[in-house]
Amino acid sequence: MDARLKIAPLFPTEATQKHIVDELGDPQDHGKGMGGMTLLAYQDKSIQFSFLDERLFMLSFYFRSSNEEAKWPPCLDALHNFHGRTRPCEVEVWLSQSGIPCRLISVDGGDVIEAPVGVQFCFESGHLTSIHIAS
């Protein structure tokens, strides 16, 4: 099993900006970055799609550390398993139960769980802060 497909099955690497807007509606924020990069952001920037040359190259989800639970769109149902208080061991269990291999590494005082294909779960102070899916 591929972690990318488990988390964001409707947003493949070949997804276009039109595909994203068709699924989620108009973004709350739309911008241009360095090197021609385009960013579409949703839900107060909790969901960010980054495009280069009209091709999705990074999908990022950000988690707040408050007790407030995020309300993810139905097409991102797997994200309901996580919140800003999720610990690395909980992500490892979820991945294992999904049949997805992973490895835990320490990076600059934080932890990162890497899972195929191109998925990273990032933790600060032992709590989940973001998930990044690279194309």
Residue 80, number of CB atoms within 10 A of its CB:
12
- pLDDT tens digits for 12-37? 888 899 999 999 999 999 988 788 88
Paired strand residues for 115: 119
Query: What average pLDDT does the segment 49-77 reach?
Result: 86
Render pLDDT for 115-129 as a digit per residue (tens, 0 to 9).
998 999 999 999 999
User: Do 63 and 121 form a contact (C-beta atoms < 8 A)?
Assistant: no
Tokens for 77, please give them. Answer: 């149902």
Q: 3-class SS at 89?
A: helix
- Measured on CA atoms in the order 116, 122, 125, 129, is the torsion positive or negative? negative
Determine the average pLDDT of the residues in 63-86. Answer: 86
pLDDT averaged over every residue in the chain: 91
* Average pLDDT of the residues in 48-53: 92
Residues 11-21 as b or e (16 or more Cβ within 10 Å = b): beeebebeebe
pTM comes to 0.93
Q: What is the DSSP letter of 74?
A: G
